[in-house]
Each structure stands twice: as structure tokens, then as C-alpha cells.
Amino acid sequence: MINAKPETGETVDDAVDAIVRSGARGAVALTGIATAMVIGLWIAFYLLVFLPRGSVP
């Protein structure tokens, strides 16, 4: 439950500290996915738009 009290005798502060110690894996994963998407779109744009146009005379 969202508002359930810890059953192991921990205080809420201890539970929060344990969550913070586990790190920000979700934020790092989201950042990695977003960065990969931006780089992928840039490469696709380069290959599909710039290269077919050829060099500028």
C-alpha cells in the first residue's frame, strides 16, 4: 500500500534513506534512452537528408 507503515520496525526516515542509497537508476536509464533517441534521430537525419543531397557546388 502507498500509505502502509513499515512492518520491520523501521521509521519512515530509515525507509527513505534506504531508497535514496539505492541510487537513481531510473533517472539514469531514462537519460540514456533519451540520449540514444536523439543520437539515433540525428544519424537518421544525416543519412536520409544530407547525404542524398550531395555536396554544395
Residue predicted with more confidence, 49 or 22 = 49
What is the predicted pLDDT for the residue at 40? 98
Reported as a single tens digit per residue, the pLDDT across 10-22 is: 688 887 888 888 8
- Cα separation, 53 vs 57, whole angstroms: 11
Q: Is the pTM of this model over 0.95?
A: no
Reported as a single tens digit per residue, the pLDDT across 23-48 is: 888 889 999 999 999 999 999 999 99
HSE (side-chain half, CA atoms, 13 Å) at 13: 0
